[in-house]
């Protein structure tokens, strides 16, 4: 069949291999090419640190893929899957874990269904804040799952709010045991948020999971930052763990100022009668208006 010969973007198998891409079939049944499979990612553990981002637009996703970002997370809304599908299409060759909403699954069966919905749109994995029981159900169904440990924002009431976790022995052991529970449940990776750098380094040595660090220093297998932080899409204050490599917010403000100035000049020109100029209008042929007025008078 023709669909077997090419992947996303119509890349022939030989060209895909030359570009370091692997031919895959998604759990949803679509053929494609990816820079990594789950096996590839796990084979990288302890060898080099990968880079990951979460784009919020198709432009950001396409730019991240062109720049060589290893993996991406993508927010997935089962009620409105089109944005995630568009980002998938914008970066067709990059491994993506779709981040599924916590409250969308109240049972293990619903967790599996939600995971399947994400995979049907083109996810290579899902990222979640679920309990090990839900993760085990999804993993058993063949869905690659990335869990979340350390500061889990939506569960932060249990750890004292939006603050660093793991700064005491009890908390450090709790983070470690949480990650081991995710490992036992069948996850392939875990996002570890805002714990001491040295703690993540030691835990990462003691788990088979790929550890993705966000605000947890350089001790993990993956370094993760949101695209909006990397690109400086927003004004200060910035998260402590983030770094702005560009100042797109400043550029957007300058563009907005240019928009306002353009509209003001247009208003001013119209009010002064200098727009439209002769070059902006169509002139009637000689005699057309006289003929028109004569015709109107006869018609009335």
> Which pLDDT value is given to residue 4?
34
> Which pLDDT value is given to residue 57?
98
State the CATH architecture for 35-246: Alpha-Beta Barrel (3.20)
> Which pLDDT value is given to residue 16?
76
Low-confidence ranges of the chain (pLDDT < 70): 1-10, 14, 18
| Rounded Cα–Cα distance for residues 189 and 146 (Å) | 5
Residue 14 tokens read as: 């030989």
- Answer whether 0.85 is exceeded by the pTM: yes
| Rounded Cα–Cα distance for residues 226 and 101 (Å) | 17
CA distance readout (Å), 230 to 197, 227, 249: 20, 5, 11
> Which pLDDT value is given to residue 18?
66
Longest CA pairwise span in the chain (Å): 99
Which alpha helices (H) appear in 19-106, and where do they start and end?
Answer: 38-43, 58-67, 82-90
Q: Are 23 and 33 in contact (CB under 8 A)?
A: yes
| Rounded Cα–Cα distance for residues 262 and 154 (Å) | 44
Active site residues: 193
Domain ranges, ordered by start, for the chain: 35-246, 257-299
Q: Are 129 and 138 in contact (CB under 8 A)?
A: no
């Amino acid at each position: 069949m023709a669909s077997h010969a090419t992947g996303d973007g119509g890349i022939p198998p030989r060209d895909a291999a030359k570009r370091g891409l692997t031919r895959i079939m998604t759990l949803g049944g679509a053929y494609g090419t990816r820079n990594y499979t789950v096996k590839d990612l796990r084979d990288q553990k302890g060898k080099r640190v990968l880079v990951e981002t979460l784009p919020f637009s198709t432009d950001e996703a396409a730019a991240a893929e062109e720049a060589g970002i290893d993996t991406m997370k993508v927010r997935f809304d089962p009620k409105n899957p089109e944005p995630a599908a568009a980002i998938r299409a914008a970066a067709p060759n990059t491994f993506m874990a779709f981040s599924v909403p916590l409250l969308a699954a109240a049972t293990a069966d619903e967790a599996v269904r939600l995971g399947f919905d994400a995979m049907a749109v083109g996810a290579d994995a899902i990222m979640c804040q679920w309990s090990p029981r839900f993760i085990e159900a999804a993993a058993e169904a063949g869905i690659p799952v990335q869990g979340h440990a350390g500061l889990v924002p939506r569960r932060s009431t249990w750890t004292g709010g939006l603050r660093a976790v793991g700064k005491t022995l009890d908390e450090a052991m709790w983070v470690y045991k949480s990650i081991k529970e995710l490992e036992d449940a069948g996850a392939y990776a875990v996002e570890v948020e805002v714990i001491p750098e040295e703690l993540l380094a030691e835990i990462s040595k003691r788990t088979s999971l790929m550890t993705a660090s966000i605000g947890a220093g350089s001790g993990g297998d993956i370094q993760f930052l949101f695209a909006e932080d990397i690109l400086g899409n927003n004004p200060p204050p910035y998260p402590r763990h983030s770094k702005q490599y560009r100042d797109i917010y400043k550029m957007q403000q300058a563009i907005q100022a240019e928009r306002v100035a353009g509209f003001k000049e247009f208003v001013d020109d119209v009010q002064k009668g200098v727009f439209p100029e002769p070059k902006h209008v169509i002139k009637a042929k000689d005699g057309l208006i006289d003929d028109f007025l004569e015709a109107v008078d006869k018609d009335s």
